[in-house]
Structure 1
Amino acid sequence: MVKRVIYIHGFNSSEKSYKAVRFGEYMANYDVEYFVPRLNHEPLHAIIQLEQLLTSDTVLVGSSLGGFYATYLSQKYQLRAVVINPAVEPFLLLSSFLGPNYNPYQDTHYELNKSHISALKSLFITPLTYPSLLYLLQQTGDEVLGFEQAVNYYSQCKQHIEFGGDHSFQNIESTFANIVDFLKIT
């Protein structure tokens, strides 16, 4: 029985992201602990933060870079996870962000360097070991990440593909019942 739901936000986001807050409001209808940790910008620190919250009755929801982290944790610990417009290979995308960065949602300045990129590469799992534990929610209008890469990478997983939309996953609320069903939250 699911007792803990962890929502994992994306790159330069926070626990106050629209999707995290709206899903948290939806989770208030269930008898579960709902966590949205404010993640460290360093990938291995973020993974450690998340691992410290895991229990055997935990499920995950991750968006963008959070989807990448959710995939890693799902496969390592055999946990069910829903990934929303996930970053499949963030180490390629984030190479263009090397140097000083600012996260306006956390009001923090930090430096993204090559060690962060190497850390992300070390977390990449291919092929997926337990694809049945993952559910891909993807909109084809994602202007940040190419949707085809996610559809291909998660090809052995349950998928919900919507035409149009954007990286924020427009009308995310319409998927909440399906997320709860897949995660087996009662």
Structure 2
Amino acid sequence: MALTHLLYLHGFRSSPRSAKAQIVARWLAQHHPALTLWLPQLPPSPAEAMQLIRRGVAAWPTGSMAVMGSSLGGFYATVLAEERGCRAVVLNPAIHPERDLAQHIGHHTHWHDPATAFDFLPQHVDELTALQPAALAEPGRYAAVIAKGDELLDWREMSARYQGAHLRLLEGGDHALSDFEDHLPFVMNFLDLTA
């Protein structure tokens, strides 16, 4: 079924203004202007973030929707894709955010708007633990872009988690996927959204 709805989920301390989110938005505006794209600003609480996401896509048709997520957004995308049975694209996805973000408890600013700050609390780590999905029911419903050069997350953990998915494993790269535009054809082909 042709894609009609796409959700893009940003990572920790990021926003819908991230480079990757904007690249996706520009590409879709140019090639698929009728497609519904939603780029929500996610709250720091993982439970609240998932609540917002579930509410926002509740009326979306599962067969023609997909979710894309980067880093922590990739974790949320996986939670949603497992719940809904929809397609998902994950970009350097967080596998154990409850472990990795435990060291980031405290006060933070957003990358794209340093004037706005938020607190990441111990209870948010517990919320991530509670959200942790089981093994992927259908790995073939996923596409993953994973950089071996990711300075924050272990590519081996990511690759193991998405074994059986459509995998694009980059020899170098970085956590931000600074060369994301180069991987857009892979992502859009997986979503059957060729230019």
Which band: TM-score by shorter chain? over 0.9
User: Is 1:161 aligned with 2:162?
Assistant: no
CA distance in 2 between partners of 1:156 and 1:101 (Å): 36
Q: What is the rounded CA distance, in whole Å, between the counterparts of 1:37 and 1:184 in structure 2? A: 23
> 1:129 Cα shift?
1.6
Mapped to 2, the partners of 1:147 and 1:104 lie a distance apart of: 23
Following the alignment from structure 2 to structure 1, what is the Cα–Cα distance between the partners of residues 84 and 192? 17
Between the two proteins, the alignment pairs up a number of residues equal to: 186
Task: Indicate the residue corresponding to 1:125 in structure 2.
Answer: 133
Matched residue, 1:52:
55
Distance in 2 between residues matched to 1:24 and 1:92, nearest whole Å: 31
Give the aligned residue type for 2:53: L
Matched AA of 1:10: G
Deviation at 1:130, TM superposition (A): 2.2
Which ranges in structure 1 are unaligned for 5 or more consecutive residues?
none
SS at match of 2:42: coil
Distance 1:156 1:121 in 2: 24
Structure 2 unaligned residues grouped into runs of 5+: none
Q: For 1:53, what is the secondary structure of its paired residue?
A: helix
1:20 alignment partner in structure 2: 21
Percent of pairs with identical residues: 29
Write the deviation string for residues 17-53 of structure 1: whole angstroms up to 9, x where unpaired: 0000011111111130111111111101111111122
Residue identity opposite 1:75 in structure 2? E
Residue 79 of structure 1 is aligned with which of 56, 78, 86? 86
Q: 1:168, CA displacement in angstroms?
A: 0.9
**Separation in 2 of the partners of 1:13 and 1:3?**
25
Q: Which residue does 1:172 correspond to in 2? A: 180
Residue in 1 aligned with 2:109? 102
Q: What per-residue deviation string (whole Å, max 9, x for no partner) do you get for residues 64-102 of structure 1?
A: 000000011001100101000010110101000112222
Q: Secondary structure at the match of 2:56?
A: coil
Pairing of 1:23-34 with structure 2 (within 5 A): 23-28=24-29, 29-30=31-32, 31-34=34-37
Give the whole-Å Cα distance in 2 for the aligned partners of 1:151 and 1:138: 7
Tell me, what secondary structure is at the counterpart of 1:13?
coil
Helix, strand or coil: the match of 2:119? strand
For 1:161, the aligned partner's letter is L
Q: How far did 1:180 drift?
A: 1.6
Output the CA distance in 1 between the equivalents of 2:108 and 2:25: 28
Q: Which amino acid aligns with 2:40?
A: P
Matches within 5 A, 1:136-151: 136-151=144-159
TM-superposed CA distance for 1:104, in Å, is 3.9
Alignment partner of 1:43 is 2:40? no
